[in-house]
Amino acid sequence: MTNVLVQIFSKLFATIGLPTVMIFAAVLLLSLWILSSSNPRVNWPPGPLCFPVVGCLPQLMISGKRRQPTDLLPWYDTYGDIMHIQLGEQHMIMLGTYELIEEAFVKNAATVSDRPTWVYFIRRLVGKDGAGVAFKNGHAWKELRRFTVSSLRDFGLGRKSLQEKIQDEARYLVQNIEDENGKAFSPSARIGKAVNNIISIVVFGARYDYDDTPKMLSVLEESMRMNKGGPLSFTNLARFFFPKKKFALVDKFYSLVRQEVKRHRQSFDPTDIRDFIDLYIKVTQDRLDPEIYTEWNVFRIIVDLYLAGTDTTANTLRWSLVHMVNHPDVQKRVQQEIDRVIGQGRVAKMEDKARMPFTEATILEVLRLSTVVPMGGPHATSEATTLAGYTIPKGTIILGDLYRVLHDKNNFEDPYNFKPERWLEDDGKVIKSDKMIPFSIGPRVCLGKGLAEMESFIFLTTLLQNFTFKVPEGENPPNGMEGLNAITFSPHNYNVCAVRR
């Protein structure tokens, strides 16, 4: 029977020709795909046309060819504040207003707080069940987050001990910049090393000299620079196109952290917990809830803290100097406030912040205008839920467009201009706004928010206390709007002159 069918189809193909057969097969596959993808029970929001296999990737590749946070803004004008986008096999919802993000991440937090650990790129990093505090779900995630927040407090977050470490590091940074003697230099690497030292003290119990780039930092920075996956990262197609070197760098980073753990084991004392790695050793030895406090989960917390505590805060400070040299009038007002409140005899402390409203307003404006994590972290639905009247199935990725919220003229007048005064009342007090969400909102809000705010204030204040930053003679001012938009948004490399005050 099989031979007869083969003969029949062979004669048919010979009669009508191969091109016709290929067209027929393509139409058949397209029809099957349309039928399989159209689920009458799902009421998707509007969105761009999706093609078989690749979804909206072609349009994203075209509209996002500059890879800036503004690339997708025209789509909201076409499809509305809530959009449905399909990337390969993966459905995604984009939320473009504060109200929608609040509805999803706060009011519907019970069903919209998962991470999409099934996505190829994330699965390759942490496994299909997730791990750590950034990529774990359910009860285990809540317990690990509670443990991490409590541990950070124990290691000085919000206390004078960690503040003093930041103050010391700010002095080291000033001394290092002084060596340039007012000549043009790129501040990017120095800022990265200063911020890296703070999280290294918390996690590894050590800081590094500025002349010595830690291997972990160099691996992290190389990995961030080659994050070229973009929307492809959310699809299983990434397994064919994602650079293998990216994962090699991840594996190298894991290996370096394990080396630190091995060194700590040699001098470990359960009665003297020095840093987060010591805590990792103690927790895994004590076997607290072995299904949650596995070696892999606690190991990934170490990685999560290091990653989250390095790149984001460093980029905030890099953007801060961009805006200072582009707005010397703002820089001068901050310096006047520093001179009045702190003077030149000591380093800033967090208690000073309440008496320095213009400095606080300037930092808020940096965080708003130069949104360091434009899309925040990817959320996912743990079960079917309703957003803005639309039915969103289980297993859908939800992205909150923080950049659009922070650049929405309905939230912030003249949103693409750097205006710290927007944050000040007539009486000089700082305005608080619910729409100011650079660290996201809800249960998945950045757990390093407090540390980032402390570092941003002390580092920037100490730099402007000691130097006036200027554009080098003969060079163009740095671009204050466009930069490198990968996982985080960083300015293009630039030079400054730091003139001693």
What's the CA gap between 371 and 100, in Å, rounded?
19
Rounded CA separation 267/269 (Å): 6
Q: Is there a binding annotation on residue 50?
A: no
Say whether 393 sits in a helix, a strand or coil: coil
Alpha-carbon span 310 to 204, nearest angstrom: 13
Tokens 């000299």: give the residue. 209
For 153-204, give the DSSP string. HHTTTTSHHHHHHHHHHHHHHHHHHHTTTT-EE--HHHHHHHHHHHHHHHHH
* SS3 state at 131: strand
DSSP string, 348-383: --GGGGGG-HHHHHHHHHHHHHT-SSTT-SPEE-SS
Task: Write the DSSP symbol of residue 481.
Answer: S
Distance, CA of 124 to CA of 247 (rounded, Å): 8
CA 384 vs. chain centroid, Å, equals 26
* Dihedrals phi, psi of 393, to nearest 5 degrees: -70, 165
Distance CA 379, CA 99 (A): 16
Contacts of residue 455, defined as CB under 8 A and 6 or more positions apart, other chains included, come to: 166, 195, 198, 313, 317
Spatial distance between the Cα atoms of 394 and 374, rounded to a whole number of angstroms: 24
- Show the 3-state SS of 195-262: HHHHHHHHHHCCCCCCCCCCHHHHHHHHHHHCCCCHHHHHCCCHHHHCCHHHHHHHHHHHHHHHHHHH
Cα radius of gyration (the chain):
26
- Judge contact between 311 and 488, C-beta under 8 A: yes
DSSP category for residue 106:
I
Q: Are 288 and 216 in contact (CB under 8 A)?
A: no
Residue 145: both structure tokens together:
């987050």
Pair 190, 176: CB distance under 8 Å: yes
State how far the Cα of 95 lies from the Cα of 381, in Å rounded to an integer: 14
Residue closest to 479 by CA, chosen among 325, 315, 316? 325
Annotated binding site for heme: 446
Which residue ranges are tagged as binding site? 446
